């Protein structure tokens, strides 16, 4: 499966020199990868919000982008 094109989602940013250029939630230093790793490990969205400087809206937007991207990949796969 193709990797997601994070540049298509305005809620994230990748800035050279900021968290080694990793894709982070815009305005934070929280990598997208870390959010998903913690959710996959069983943390709830509320627990992620408690542990990292992110909002529910940021996480829900991220999840919606991933869902839309997967639908597109599956429809064209």
Neighbours of 27 (CB within 10 A): 12
Average pLDDT of the chain is 92
pTM: 0.86
How high is the pLDDT of residue 75?
74
**Which class is domain 7-76?**
mainly alpha
Tokens coding 42 = 């069983």
Q: Is the pLDDT of residue 69 over 70?
A: yes
Distance CA 37, CA 23 (A): 14
36: Cα within 13 Å, side-chain hemisphere: 10
Give per-residue pLDDT as tens, 28-64. Answer: 999 999 999 999 999 999 999 999 999 999 999 999 9
């Amino acid at each position: 499966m193709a990797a997601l094109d994070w540049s298509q989602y305005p809620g994230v940013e990748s800035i050279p020199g900021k968290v080694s250029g990793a894709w982070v939630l815009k305005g934070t230093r929280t990598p997208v990868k870390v959010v998903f790793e913690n959710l996959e490990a069983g943390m709830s969205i509320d627990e992620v919000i408690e542990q990292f400087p992110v909002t529910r809206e940021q996480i829900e937007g991220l999840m919606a982008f991933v869902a839309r991207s997967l639908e597109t990949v599956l429809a064209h796969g």
